[in-house]
Structure 1
Amino acid sequence: MYRRIKPALFRLDAEDAHHLTLRALGVASRLPAWPALARTLTAPADPRLTQTLWGRTFTSPVGLAAGLDKNAEAVPAFGALGFGFLEVGTVTPLAQAGNERPRLFRLPPDEALINRMGFNNAGAEALHARLAALPARPAPVWVNIGKNKATPNEEAVQDYLGCVRALQDVADAFVVNVSSPNTPGLRALQAAADLAALVRAVLGEVEVGRVRTLSRPPVLVKLAPDLHPEDFEASVNAVLAAGADGLIISNTTLSREGLTHPRREEAGGLSGRPLTRRSTDLVRDAYRLTRGRVPIVGVGGIFTAGDAYAKIRAGAALTEVYTALIYEGPGLPARLNRGLAGLLARDGFRNVAEAVGVDA
């Protein structure tokens, strides 16, 4: 079905198509019993794909990356596609419109997207209301948090802490986003000293919230793929020393190497196929640096089960997709799950956890 409607969607402006699809998924999310019934058909049945991380069960290592469902408008529908977990956001304490349109561009020959959305979202209170209203969760829901554009970097910590306070009782994990290229000055927070201070503050707020919410969601940090190798190492070590529970490698890139589409010079972060190898190499680097002490989530250019498997073998315990879902359609998570189960069986792994980092 997606192959039939994709040409019509791709004739629309990319952001218009995104909003149209998200509204349809929002309607589907409210259909009685449909999401749960659909998930029985798409959720992986192979026990090889199940693992426990941070005391939580993940039935699949394939998750939805942040950015597709910023305001948690369609969590049940995305869960119905067979994802093992879902990441919503990026959310900021206050609602903001983001950058001016157009700000999202398809590059079909490159199987890529460029976006300069600028953390457009409805704010932490609206996100809390949507997540709190969910009757049940099809999978763990992570919340990606950032700072408002108007907040200066020297006050950024308070924005992250505000998001934690507002959302801790509805978040299964927090992702500290310091790596989007579309909020001025944000990537400067990846500097080792600033990053360590930010992570410690967020972890401290999570511990304070544990008393109130009776939960302690893990805290992960999302890094950019454009850091100099020495800076990347320093940032990873800072995150680890600060006590973060995991890493997401990586965010979008500012590189335009190898692109062919006329839109390649649009400002913003590039995602999709051009990131496949780069992000896998960075996962491997991060796994070697951390020696497997914290779980790593590999994201960037995953279109096939082989792409996801390469990231797992490089050191990723979990993986996430975004751009490939736009190009491949809603059947992608189930295809990735089936393919991963077959690859694990082929190589004699009893569980996905056994494959993590074997090539690192």
Structure 2
Amino acid sequence: MALSDLGTALLRWMDAETAHELAIRAIQVLPLPAPVADDPVLATAVGPLELPNPVGLAAGLDKNGVALRGLSRLGFGFVECGSVTPRAQPGNPKPRLFRLSEDRAIINRMGFNNAGLEAFAVRLAARPANAVIGANLGANKDTEDKAADYVAGLIRLKGLADYVTVNVSSPNTPGLRALQGRTALDDLLGRLAEARGGDATPVFLKIAPDLTAAEIAMVVEAALDHRIDALIVSNTTLDRPATLRSPHRDEAGGLSGEALKDRAMAALRAAADASDRRLPLIAVGGIGSGQDAWDRIRAGACAVQIYSALIYEGPGLVGRIKLDLAARLRAEGFSTVSEAASTPR
């Protein structure tokens, strides 16, 4: 077992949120070696964004952008930090993070706890230059005009991130998921398009896995109408599969990890059918192996993101997924991930 994966095993003996905080601190201070160059076959593109490999870190691990240098050395093709809100907020009362170890899953109701946009922007300004860094935007819990919060985040972070994600799908901020309705979405995306102006920084939209196929098709059309560069499919779910065994299964919040896999895949397929390769897709939810990542790529995703699986598998998972994907790409005769994503099965 690698030293980093041994550390992951030890952290699992602690309270979930304490372990999370210690892991972030360790990534900040440990002298991690630079990753080896990626196999060229792993190259991919998400719209205008060129990536050395398709395995990204999903938002939520580094909410405040404090560990970007260390995270960029773990082999990810891209690292997404946040969610960040304009004003600092403490989030929901603790406990609010639960391991469902029997199910290799997580439930969280963190509530966009973060230090606020100004502190986040300062850290992004000092980000590592040789890594692809994304910023995930949220809205404050007590903001009535939530679209204004996203606009504020987009404007403040101009030039500081390689891409920006508009997160309208967290289940832990009241009213947030209502922004996925067509009228509210048109208002939000229209205001963001105006705020972007001529800025070429890609803007992605992150959606919930709990939408119907018809709702996902509507979101795809709205995203295309407003020049969104990619769709991230998907966030955590409010669903509780009957197969859950953990005593924490009835905790409120968003469910992620292996228990989300089928629902996230169904949402990805609905998005792929609706977009018909007109809109790049990033797959998230229940990805814990090279096989999982490969299945999402062949379903139409040009990149994937992981988070919950790292809690159970450790950071060595990133390298294992990349090795598996490179072998599968060559075995299937593909020269890039993008080619595999765009070629029908």
**Alignment match, 1:21:** 23
Gaps of 5+ in 1: 211-215
For residue 106 of structure 2, the aligned residue among 101, 113, 130 is 113
What is the alpha-carbon distance in structure 1 between the residues aligned to residue 340 and residue 183 of structure 2?
A: 33
Q: Give the whole-Å Cα distance in 2 for the aligned partners of 1:248 and 1:341.
A: 23
Taking structure 1 as the reference length, what is the TM-score of the superposition?
0.91
- Preserved CA contact (<8 Å) 1:281 1:314: no
Which one of the candidate residues 47, 57, 60 is aligned to 1:64? Answer: 57
> Could you tell me which of 108, 115, 133 is aligned with 1:141?
133
Distance 1:126 1:341 in 2: 38
Match of 1:89 in 2: 82
Q: Quick one: which of 199, 206, 231 aligns to 2:196?
A: 206
Task: Classify the secondary structure of the residue corresponding to 1:233.
Answer: helix
Q: Which residue of 2 aligns with 1:213?
A: none
Deviations 1:193-252 (A, max 9, x none): 2112211211221116x3xxxxx2111111101113322222222222222111000000
The structure, 1 or 2, with the larger RCO (C-alpha pairs under 8 Å, 6+ apart) is 2
Q: Which runs of 5+ in 2 are unaligned?
A: none
Which whole-Å CA distance do the structure 1 matches of 2:270 and 2:326 have between them? 25
Letter in structure 2 aligned against 1:196: D
Question: Contact conserved, 1:76 with 1:137, CA < 8 A, in 2?
Answer: no
Match of 1:39 in 2: 35
The whole-number CA distance in structure 1 between the counterparts of 2:240 and 2:219 is: 24
Residue 357 (structure 1) shift: 4.2
1:305-324 matched pairs, under 5 angstroms: 305-324=290-309
Counterpart contact for 2:213–2:267, Cα < 8 Å: no
Which has the higher mean CA deviation after the structures are superposed, 259-268 or 344-353? 344-353
- 1:256-335 pair list within 5 angstroms: 256-257=240-241, 258-335=243-320
Stretch moving more, 193-202 or 59-68: 193-202
- d(CA) in 1 for partners of 2:61 and 2:270? 27
How big is the shift at 1:76? Answer: 1.3
Aligned equivalents of 1:6, 1:250: Cα separation in 2: 25
Output the amino acid matched with 2:302: A
Query: What is the percentage of aligned positions where both structures have the same residue?
Result: 46
Match of 1:169 in 2: 159
Q: Deviations over 1:263-285 (max 9, x none)?
A: 00000000000111221222121
- Work out whether residues 197 and 242 of structure 1, in 8 Å CA contact, stay in contact via their aligned partners in 2: no
CA distance in 1, matches of 2:327, 2:297: 14
- The amino acid across from 1:22 in the alignment is I
Letter matched to residue 238 of structure 1: A
TM-score between the two structures when normalised by the length of structure 2? 0.95
Q: Does 1:151 align with 2:155?
A: no
CA distance in 1, matches of 2:225, 2:211: 19
Larger proportion of helix: 1
C-alpha displacement of 1:359 = 4.6
